[in-house]
């Protein structure tokens, strides 16, 4: 079962099991990771599931489509080149061990 390593706001790391197909956002919500919200439940409508993806994994992700790009413009925390909306990132074996950093705020 693939693992996601979330770096939390306090700097600590939590490793979470995430079956292939579940999004990085869903895995976070299920595991009660603080700092990743999902106001719209994962349908790319609210930008509250914003995360920073470890550079080493960035290329293995499907590219952000226009909707996601637009929403990334409106994220509350600093937008970085590694910014993605985690509801758009489905887990796979390829992404095992991915490091996801929780931003300072989603509001």
Partner 1 sequence: MNARAALLIAGASYAGLQLAASARNLGFEGRIVMVGDEALPPYQRPPLSKGLLTGKSTVESLPVKSEAFYSESGIELLLGRRVATLAPERQQVTLDDGSSLEYDWLALTTGARCRPLPVPGADLAGVLEVRTVDDALRLDAAAGGARHACIIGGGFIGLEVAAALAGRGLRVTVVEALPRLLARAVTPQMSAFVEDLHRRNGVGFAFGQAVAALHGDNGKVCAVELASGERIDCDLVVVGIGVIPNTGLAEAAGIACANGILTDGLGQTSAPRVLAAGDCAAFPNPYAPDPALPIRLESIQAANDLARAAASLLVGAPQPYAAVPWFWSDQYDAKLQMAGLMAADDEAVVRGDPASGRFTVFCLRNGRIAAVHTASRPAEHMLGRKLVAAGASATAAQLADESFDLKSLLA
- Tokens linked to 24: 């990085």
The residues near 81 (Cβ < 8 Å, ≥ 6 apart) are none
Q: Which is nearer to partner 1, 43 or 56 (CB)?
A: 43
Strands 3-7 and 98-101: parallel
Task: Work out whether 13 is an interface residue with partner 1 (CB under 8 A).
Answer: no
Largest CA distance in the chain: 33
Nearest-approach distance from CB 29 to partner 1, in angstroms:
7
Strands 83-85 and 3-7: unpaired
Cα separation, 18 vs 1, whole angstroms: 7
Q: Which is nearer to partner 1, 40 or 58 (CB)?
A: 40
Q: Which is nearer to partner 1, 10 or 73 (CB)?
A: 73
Site for partner 1 in 30-89 (CB under 8 A): 30-32, 34, 39-41, 43-47, 67, 70-71, 73-74
Q: Give residues in contact with partner 1 (CB under 8 A).
A: 22, 26, 29-32, 34, 39-41, 43-47, 67, 70-71, 73-74
């Amino acid at each position: 079962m693939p693992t996601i390593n979330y770096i939390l706001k306090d700097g600590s790391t939590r490793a979470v099991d995430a079956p292939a197909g579940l999004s990085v956002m869903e895995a976070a919500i299920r595991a009660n990771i603080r700092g990743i919200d999902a106001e719209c439940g994962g349908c790319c409508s609210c930008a509250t599931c914003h995360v920073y993806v470890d550079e080493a994994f960035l290329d293995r992700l499907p590219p952000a489509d226009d909707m996601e790009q637009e929403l990334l413009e409106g994220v509350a925390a600093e937008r970085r080149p590694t910014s993605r909306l985690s509801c758009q990132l489905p887990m796979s074996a390829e992404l095992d061990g991915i490091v996801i950093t929780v931003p300072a705020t989603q509001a």
